[in-house]
Chain A
């Protein structure tokens, strides 16, 4: 089992519903976020294009955050989900420094926090909150090891890319282009 996400940049309108859904689902304190929207603009007027991306922890296969954690708070769960056990976290911030995606933040309660792929929902067979709320249905979540899953299907049929592949972390969020 290998959980991953594919996000269709052709359909995303950058509305940030994923961000606010994550916030209410996971009680992320206001002023912080586990996911966010990036915009890249290319070209000069009038030959301009933009790409909108909903970004979050890439739940990397080769995760520097897990490697550098001195207490074992950052760890892998089933399906490759990278999690932080809050009560084991001492808030040293080494993982924040090591992440090439700036996906982690210091929670005001003293621990490091980030996207969990909504593991509490996934275990019940639901999609993560961001995926389930997206008005454009531009996000796909699923198991890369299941050949019949929707995510495998879209990745087979569409061009895609990952962010900062040069970091060598083997990210598991794919952007359909």
Chain B
């Protein structure tokens, strides 16, 4: 079938973007990829301030650069409270983001040659000229609002500035609807604010840490992992609720191997025990919360015995763990988690988590959840942004009333004609997010990408999304560019600088430069009133009592707090809700037509021969973005499917055998996956690490390794409150033979 956008494999073109030979790569990459014996060169290394971009934690560190301009290693900055001088494996392995031989190298433009769509190399001038002409055209025809930005990470800021100057506020990050959105909305509805990033959980000083499916240590959110380790030393009680014995579960006093999808029943029964056994923090609740009587009536029947039949967790275990939490109150954290888009009732689940924290008095107390403090960096002077005629909110048609960030799925659905109506979104810029692997609604995404009039992808790597672009712009890695100051609000206000450690390789450019160039071509030069981004940083830093010169020297600057991180005794603390009180009963949710207090809903369970697909993280990889990083591939080249040996026996599946996975809707994994037989998982579930199974051949280390969980997530359970895409309602079965081979023969 002829499509508007054939998927183009960048390597098949014989361009600059194809594989370099080993000899050439060695010249470019120096020793970090190929290795030589040169251990005593520390004195010759130059140290450059940076902060990491391999994940969103953004730990500050130092890039150590050799005389010949190669990055030998990256180490943590001792002054950064997010890492305390210790990066995680991905941060340490960040050198591989720079040295990856498969990086995008030049701008590429889609052309048709002999009836075939292909990419050809283009100069920056040509590529940017094409995009800006197209954007001017779209603005004239459909209004600036018809452009949308999808983004993840630091580069998003530069393109957000461009888009707002151009006249659109359709700026969507998968991190909302696909990840932390439900959690943030649930906490905002309860406490008036969420737990931020990095989370304001006082794990370091906690006496009891409760993890609901949160696998700290496998999700390598550095500061949290470090603090959990300190909590273990200090003898904190850890309670982990997970259908899998996660690393965190293995370090816990209590592991509650819950039946997946029943978390709300457990949380309600914990609330029941705390209230009816009078274990809750009466003083705190009396002073700071409202809606207690409604909550008490609501949970009256949700006994541990009721929850047992649903969760498979024994009533005495539920009571015992509730007592452990109460004993530690208020130094207890029911961890809010991060990736929360599970079953479509996720705002309500995180509401239940927030309510538990409220009953135990954790927010505002040592060892619970603290108040953050940060330094606000002023915006570099620019003209006011134009006011758009409409925004992403208008795409929701009254759905998702509590969505307070753009919902990716709604923007995607507005990007193709539907029910005879013209698409409202006509063009995308995609920065730093491989939507093909990040968003579960594959059919809608495919339709959108075929309908768009302009699709620009900015990335460092030839991720799958690049194959659909009209123009691919090669961004340099975080190690080769300036970005905005990292101004972190947490225990201590902290500023961190990222500056180029080396010149960008090949034709790659920093996002700030790309955005500025496009802006100037669009007649928006006034919003980019600088030659180099260092001018912006120097101006901003001088407004807050530092300077670029100082930050280049120290990398990280901490300031003393002006306010207390905890509620001070004798003060009347106001929470950030409308009434100033914690909302055990949510009027906001009730008024929007939702349950004012969390209710347990029975979710579908797997049919015979099917198993619930659970996915998660590995400490050495970030989503799909590190799957080709040579240093990290060496640590974990592929994912495996975790199967309980009892289940494998039924199927006759052996250890290390490769199987294909098929889901309830008949979706089959692109590739096969290695079996890991392990007692660490329930019989009704299987587990795979997210981010593998790349099908784009230019990713030489990642191609064909493992399976991509999002291929098997065809059932998406939408959260009606804020548009989260619940992804854990999918069930898989095993295929021992290659299903595609059969079709061919």
Task: List residues of chain A with CB under 8 Å of any chain B CB.
Answer: 10-11, 13-17, 19-21, 23-33, 41, 43-46, 48-50, 52, 86, 107-109, 116, 120-121, 124, 132-138
Contacts and interface: CB of A to CB of B under 8 A. Distances in A.
Contacts of A10: 232, 251
Given A30-B35, A137-B226, A15 B72 contact: no
Interface stretch (B216-224, B380-388, B483-491): B216-224
Contacts of A134: 86
B631 A23 contact: yes
B177 to A, nearest CB: 29
Contact of A120 (B32, B35, B40): B40
B719 to A, nearest CB: 30
Nearest to A126: B42
Interface string B496-523: 0000000000000000000000000000
A20 B680 contact: no
B620 A136 contact: no
Contact of B72 (A24, A32, A52, A138): A24
B634 A13 contact: no
22 contacts: A10-B232, A13-B229, A13-B247, A14-B217, A15-B89, A16-B635, A16-B636, A17-B87, A20-B620, A20-B635, A24-B32, A24-B74, A26-B39, A27-B31, A45-B257, A48-B680, A50-B245, A50-B680, A109-B36, A132-B85, A136-B225, A138-B229
Nearest to A17: B89
Given A11-B233, A20-B631, A109-B37, A135 B222 contact: yes
A44 B679 contact: yes
Given A30-B630, A48-B245, A50-B250, A15 B88 contact: yes
A81 to B, nearest CB: 13
A36 to B, nearest CB: 9
B678 A135 contact: no
B220 A15 contact: yes
Contacts of B682: 45-46
A49 B117 CA distance: 54
Contacts of B257: 45-46
B321 interface: no
A137 B222 CA distance: 12
Interface residues of B, number: 58
B632 to A, nearest CB: 7
| Chain A at the B interface: SS class | loop
A27 B251 contact: no
B86 A20 contact: no
Nearest to A87: B37
B73 interface: yes
B683 interface: yes
A157 B683 CA distance: 40
Nearest to A124: B42
B226 A136 contact: yes
Contact of A13 (B31, B42, B73, B619): B619
Given A20-B92, A21-B92, A27 B39 contact: yes
B679 A45 contact: yes
B34 A135 contact: no
B75 interface: yes
A137 B683 CA distance: 35
B619 A14 contact: yes
Contacts of A23: 631, 634
A23 B633 CA distance: 13
B635 A135 contact: no
Given A13-B247, A50-B250, A86-B37, A135 B86 contact: yes
A133 B635 contact: no
A43 B630 contact: no
Contacts of B641: none
B363 interface: no
Interface in B252-291: 255, 257
Given A13-B619, A24-B72, A41 B678 contact: yes
Contacts of A30: 33-35, 630-631, 634
Interface of B: 31-40, 42, 72-76, 83, 85-89, 92-93, 95, 217-218, 220, 222, 225-226, 228-229, 232-233, 245, 247-248, 250-251, 255, 257, 619-620, 630-632, 634-636, 644, 646, 678-683
B615 to A, nearest CB: 19
A103 to B, nearest CB: 17
Nearest to A15: B619
Nearest to B226: A135
Nearest to A52: B247
Nearest to A118: B39
A10 B247 CA distance: 10
A135 B255 contact: no
A30 B29 CA distance: 13
A135 B680 contact: no
A176 to B, nearest CB: 11
B643 to A, nearest CB: 11
A108 B36 CA distance: 10
Contacts of A16: 89, 619-620, 635-636
Contacts of A43: 679
Nearest to B245: A48
Contacts of B683: 45
Given A11-B232, A16-B619, 15 more contacts: A10-B232, A13-B218, A13-B251, A15-B225, A20-B632, A23-B634, A24-B73, A25-B39, A31-B634, A41-B680, A45-B681, A108-B35, A121-B42, A133-B75, A135-B225
Nearest to B247: A13
A107 B217 CA distance: 32
A15 B75 CA distance: 16
B619 A29 contact: no
Contacts of B255: 46
A41 B250 CA distance: 10
A57 to B, nearest CB: 15
Nearest to B31: A27
Contacts of A49: 250
B620 A15 contact: yes
A118 B72 CA distance: 16
B87 A133 contact: yes
A121 B248 CA distance: 32
A55 to B, nearest CB: 14
Nearest to A37: B635
A109 B73 CA distance: 22
A24 B45 CA distance: 13
5 closest A-B pairs by CB = A29-B35, A13-B217, A15-B619, A136-B229, A24-B73
Nearest to A25: B73
Nearest to A134: B86
A151 to B, nearest CB: 16
A29 B99 CA distance: 13
A45 B257 CA distance: 9
B78 to A, nearest CB: 10
A48 B37 CA distance: 43
B89 A19 contact: yes
Contacts of A44: 679
Q: Which of B250, B620, B681 has the most CB of A within 10 A?
A: B250
A129 B466 CA distance: 37
B132 to A, nearest CB: 40
A9 B394 CA distance: 53
Contacts of B89: 15-17, 19-20
Nearest to B251: A10
A25 B35 CA distance: 10
B332 to A, nearest CB: 21
Given A11-B232, A43-B679, A135-B220, A120 B39 contact: yes
A19 B89 CA distance: 8
A20 B93 contact: yes
A158 B346 CA distance: 42
B74 to A, nearest CB: 7
